[in-house]
Every structure is written in structure tokens, then in C-alpha cells.
Amino acid sequence: MSLSTKRRFFWMQEDRAAAAKHGGEINAWHTLSLPGVICGTCGETWANTGHEYPCVDLSQLPERKAFERPRPEPFPEFARLREQVRPLTPPHSELPPGTGFGPLVGRASGTFGPFAWVWGQKLLVRRDALTQLKTEGIRGLHACPTQLRFRQKDPPALLELQIPPHGRLHPDCIPSDEPSPCVTCGRWGLARPEVPILDAASLPTDMDLFKVGNFATMVVGTERFVEAVHRLGLDGIRFQELPARDGVAPPHGM
């Protein structure tokens, strides 16, 4: 039996009905990030979304202030700043322009269920729900403190999940006329395919939660993760099964 038929994967998105039921609101973002890039090769000025490392602390960097103001920089300056943070990040992190670091900072109010989303992109988990998932044996859960300011007393303990990018979209869902990534900055202007297909051979085997490596706004959970969430009765996530096919995808994107 092939790898793609043995394992099932699910695209995870915000369950807006559950969010409305709990009524919590969050307005927050990461205050430190790599700058965007101005590329002299492809002529694009751009920054990425979906790449965040909330557990990475940049406070001791001599040039910390260089990561405080979002802005584009010429590629050589961007690359210089990227090398400053690389030793602090997990091995093999790609760190495209716009990568965020450090805790989520901002305001929050109301009540929250086991999971909460920020702008439909960043996944937060209540501390008690995280403990339950770890007790169920869910692998690869790395949660980081947030710096959310609540107005009410006894605010919930919300943690941000640091979800690493792994794996690729399968070539079958990528248009054949799609330009290759820029050889200098790595920009790949792919729109999300209408029917995303995962490259089964590229997906991690030792974690139950990850982002798609070449489309990092997509959060993916394994069947083990989905079953644990349902078994524990944890709301806040809508699951859509993704097809996965054998075959190694080309190294598109950063």
C-alpha cells in the first residue's frame, strides 16, 4: 500500500461558528520580523505570510531594532539580517521575507474555546487543551506564551502554536505554465490551487501538525490530530481532507 493511501491529512481552518459562539476577539501580531525584500533580479517588492516563530527570542541581537519596523530592503541587506537570526531558529528554516518572531502582542477580550485564530491565520490553543492533546500522544506540539492584554479579570491562558513548514504541494495541482521561483529572492507567485494536492512523499512522518512548506498559509493536521480533537470535544477548527499523491514535488518557493 502506498504512503498516500496509508495516511490522511486535513486542511485546518477557523470554525467561525464556534468562534462566534464563544465571542472572543483578538487584535494582535508579531512585533519583530524580517523585512520585506526589493529584488533586483525579478523586480518584485514583497514579503511572505505564514512563516512565524513565536518561540524565537531576538532580544539579545545587537541589531534588534532592525527587526521592529516592517519595510522592504534590497536583497543583500535582507540576506544579511536573515543570517543574524538563522542560528536562533530551528534547523533548515527557510526564513523568507516577512518571517515573524517572538510573542504575539496586542489586545484580546471575551471568552475563548480550546482553539482561537488570529485573522484566520495564527492558531492559538488554550493551555488546558494543549495538555489534553499531549496526553493523547499528539506529536510536534510546540506552544509559546503570548503577550495579549485582556480587560477582564482571570483571562484565559492562550498560547500560540509554533507550526513549522514541511512538505510540498504536488506538481499535479500546479499549472504547467507557472513561472519558476526567482533564483535570487525565491519569490514564487503561485495562487492557492482550487483543489490543493499534497506531495505524500515530502510530508513529515514525526509530527501531527505542520504547514505546507511551499504554501505556508495552509495549516495541516494528520488523521491522528483530527481524531484526538473530536474525541476530546475541542471546537474551533474546521477540517477539510486533502488528497495526497506519491511523487516528489520540485523545490518551488521558499
100-122 pLDDT, tens digit each? 999 999 999 999 999 999 999 89
Q: How do the domains of the chain map onto residue ranges?
A: 3-17+166-245, 19-161
- Asked if the model's pLDDT at residue 93 lies above 80, the reply is yes
What pLDDT does 247 receive? 64
Tell me the per-residue pLDDT of 125-179, one tens digit each, with 9 for 90 and over.
999 999 999 999 999 999 999 999 998 888 889 999 999 999 999 999 998 888 8
What pLDDT does 249 receive? 41
CA-closest candidate to residue 164, choices 108, 249, 99, 253? 99
CA 179 and chain centroid, separation: 24
How does 133-147 read in b/e, with b if 16+ C-beta sit within 10 Å?
beeeebebbbbbebe
pTM of the complete model: 0.91
Spatial separation of the C-alpha atoms in residues 97 and 66, rounded to whole Å: 13
Q: Is 252 helix (H, G, I), strand (E, B) or coil?
A: coil
Q: What residues does 238 pair with on adjacent strands?
A: 13
Nearby residues of 199 by Cβ (< 8 Å), 6 or more positions away = 167, 168, 169, 170, 171, 244, 245, 247, 248, 249
